[in-house]
Structure 1
Amino acid sequence: MSIVCDILNSLTMITMVDSSPVERALAILVFGICPGDVMGLTNGLASPPGKKPLFSFGIISDVQYADIPDGHSFHGVPRYYRHSIHVLQRAIQEWNSHQDLNFVINFGDIVDGKCPPGQSLDAVKKVNYEFQKSNRPVYHLIGNHCLYNLPRDKLLPLLKIPGLNGLAYYDFSPSPEYRIVVLDGYDISAIGWPQGHPKTLKALEFLEKKNPNSNKNSPEGLQGLDRRFVMFNGAVGREQLEWLDGTLQDATKLKQKVIVCCHLPFDDVASDQEALLWNYDEVMNIIHQYNCVKACLSGHDHKGGYSIDPHGVHHRSFEAALECPPDTDAYGHIDVYDDRLLLFGADRMQNTEMYFNS
């Protein structure tokens, strides 16, 4: 099974390529996917003829606005701190013109950690002001850069995140057939909580065991999946894991399909290893106990990626708005059907068709 999934993942990478008969046969054999239903098997993306989406929603991730000159990531990738808010503005304009769009999900990091001292609150308010121009509801996820700028007790009310006790996980059902589950990937984290908070102390103790570097944001010397044990990542706590399990049980009883959203990715084919949730394996162990979860969507990785795991769950990490040169974009919308998700991306955001057995 894992060999076949490796082959399928090679087919479903972001670059669109034509498929061979063998590739199509493998897709059909493993997941019941018809020819052209997997991203990478066709060069185009079209809605199923005669079918309307159950609902549609806009997506954007990693705006990371800051009023500073352009710069680069640790890996030398250009970052356009002032331009990113223009990407968001164009996204809002596009979503507002989409007659059938139901809501928007922001996958985190609305401002950058390099915001000049004293400007964090103004920067968050400035980006949030643009989101408030949406004529559809906006659901926010928190990312590490959000928490570099504001503590949870200020950030969550500002973004109207409906979590309790400073936590940012929740769920909602946009249609009777589906449930959206939003996870808080910085539940256990060295950032965002007060300095002496038990969750902060637990995260610092964890990093001390897992990462020998004096700079805990550095993965230097860490190998393979251990590269995820850096301070700019985090974990889902025990209480949240129990909540996730109960939520998926409930969705199963109601015969709902589930889309799981988190700033941090859960699959190392869809993202770099150093971008993964610390305990992605625990989260996926729960998800794989149920057949209701069809896709896991995330940000954080910036370059974007896509995979299908051995259980047939789709993983899509989104391209960052921050890394769009002037006059380019990275946002999109997803049309949701009973048997697939269709991501229609703008410019650098790649189209993706995620097909599953209904």
Structure 2
Amino acid sequence: MVQENGFINSQGKLPLVSFGVISDVQCADIPDGRSFLGVPRYYRHSFLVLQRAVQKWNEKRLKFAINFGDIVDGFCPKDQSLNTFKRIVNEFNLFNGPVHHMIGNHCLYNLPREKLLPILNIPSHDNLAYYEFSPIPQYRFVVLDGFDISAIGWPKDHVKTIKAVNFLKERNPNSDKNCPTGLVGRERRFLMFNGAVGKQQLEWLDRVLQDATKLNQRVVICCHLPLDPHAASNEALLWNYDEVIDLIHRYDCVKVCISGHDHKGGHSVDSHGVHHHVLEAALECPPGSNAFGYIDLFEDRLVLHGTDRMRSREMVFGC
């Protein structure tokens, strides 16, 4: 049975818009396993979690949904990757509204960008995966490409791959660049399964936030990789999270940043009053449990209605 976890209303007001959320489905037709920390992972059951999410979103007649990345696991046999992606995307497409996808590291373990982005219907130029949309005049959503600079997903001889590899060599002394041994505090983010937002994307984000400010829009930033160390593990952070946050803090329009990647979830409010929320992973739901939800947007707050393992939360940010 699907039960909502801690339903919160917002003073009886109707929301401006409502949309579905899910993260880290990481489906694969393989036996259950564990993370490097020993946390159980349910690769086949996560597909059922997605099915229940889509059913719930349709029952609620939500306007759109956002997938926060990693819909196919890196352990998926490579000869099954393409068909597994198509199967998962087809399930998302049963939702009676648009689904906005973003890429995660597990996506890039399976398929190169030139194959991945069309399957996910991500609007792209030069195989970059950042974009924005405005479902209602009062709000703008910005989807960042957290693997813009990355050692995965781009061709090995691509300038972005070379830049990322050199970046990691300078900051991570381990031969296995996914190993944080010897790294201290926030330096532990310098791992190959993370990435960075590049200069061109930062300039684009600056222009978008300028425009949103002129239009008096509130902005929700979406990125697979978390942007605030107080909301996520050091090992899960965007490499240049500080640079992105410094840009966000130049504007008052950004109210909420939502991420995936750090499967346990988390929440914080930063020094400028911006909420940072990390969604719990669908992958780590034992059989019969769920981790998905839907969000009501109001003028002065966002209300997340979580299901089972996805915690509910009301994020008040004022006008």
Task: Give the letter aligned to residue 63 of structure 1.
Answer: V
Determine the C-alpha separation between the residues in 2 that align with 1:176 and 1:198.
38
Match of 1:81 in 2: 43
The answer on 1:211 being equivalent to 2:172 is yes
Determine the C-alpha separation between the residues in 1 that align with 2:129 and 2:177.
24
The answer on 1:117 being equivalent to 2:78 is yes
Query: What SS does structure 2 have at the residue aligned with 1:319?
Result: coil
Query: What SS does structure 2 have at the residue aligned with 1:296?
Result: strand
Query: What SS does structure 1 have at the residue aligned with 2:78?
Result: coil
- Answer whether contact 2:6 2:305 (CA < 8 A) is retained: no
2:126 pairs, out of 137, 144, 165, with 165
2:261 pairs, out of 296, 300, 317, with 300
1:327 offset after TM fit, Å? Answer: 0.4
Match of 1:71 in 2: 33
1:239 pairs, out of 180, 191, 200, with 200
Query: What SS does structure 1 have at the residue aligned with 2:25?
Result: coil
- Answer whether contact 1:113 1:148 (CA < 8 A) is retained: yes
The answer on 1:224 being equivalent to 2:185 is yes
Q: Which has the larger radius of gyration?
A: 1
Encode CA deviations 1:29-80: one digit per residue, 9 max, x unaligned.
xxxxxxxxxxxxxx95432234111101100000000111000000000000
Where in structure 1 do 4 or more consecutive aligned residues deviate above 4 Å?
Answer: none
Task: Give the letter aligned to residue 94 of structure 1.
Answer: K
Determine the C-alpha separation between the residues in 2 that align with 1:94 and 1:50.
22
The answer on 1:98 being equivalent to 2:60 is yes
1:123 offset after TM fit, Å? Answer: 1.0
The answer on 1:340 being equivalent to 2:301 is yes
Determine the C-alpha separation between the residues in 2 that align with 1:95 and 1:189.
33
1:129 pairs, out of 84, 87, 90, with 90
Query: What SS does structure 2 have at the residue aligned with 1:295?
Result: strand
Determine the C-alpha separation between the residues in 2 that align with 1:210 and 1:247.
31
- Answer whether contact 2:263 2:284 (CA < 8 A) is retained: yes
Write out aligned runs for 1:1-358 (5 A): 45-99=7-61, 101-358=62-319
Encode CA deviations 1:231-269: one digit per residue, 9 max, x unaligned.
000000000000001100000000000000000001111
| Structure 2: 5+ residue stretches without partners | none
Determine the C-alpha separation between the residues in 1 that align with 2:87 and 2:164.
31
Query: What SS does structure 1 have at the residue aligned with 2:36?
Result: coil
- Answer whether contact 1:104 1:138 (CA < 8 A) is retained: yes
Match of 1:10 in 2: none
- Answer whether contact 1:228 1:276 (CA < 8 A) is retained: yes
Encode CA deviations 1:156-204: one digit per residue, 9 max, x unaligned.
0011001211000000111111100000000000000011000000000
Give the number of the structure with larger relative contact order, counting CA–CA contacts within 8 Å between residues 6 or more apart.
Answer: 2
- Answer whether contact 1:339 1:356 (CA < 8 A) is retained: yes
Aligned Cα RMSD in Å? 0.9
Task: Give the letter aligned to residue 125 of structure 1.
Answer: K
- Answer whether contact 2:146 2:195 (CA < 8 A) is retained: yes
- Answer whether contact 1:45 1:353 (CA < 8 A) is retained: no
- Answer whether contact 1:110 1:146 (CA < 8 A) is retained: yes
Q: Percent identity?
A: 66
- Answer whether contact 1:84 1:324 (CA < 8 A) is retained: yes
Aligned residues: 315
Task: Give the letter aligned to residue 138 of structure 1.
Answer: V
Query: What SS does structure 1 have at the residue aligned with 2:118?
Result: helix
| Structure 1: 5+ residue stretches without partners | 1-42
- Answer whether contact 2:8 2:305 (CA < 8 A) is retained: no
Task: Give the letter aligned to residue 223 of structure 2.
Answer: C
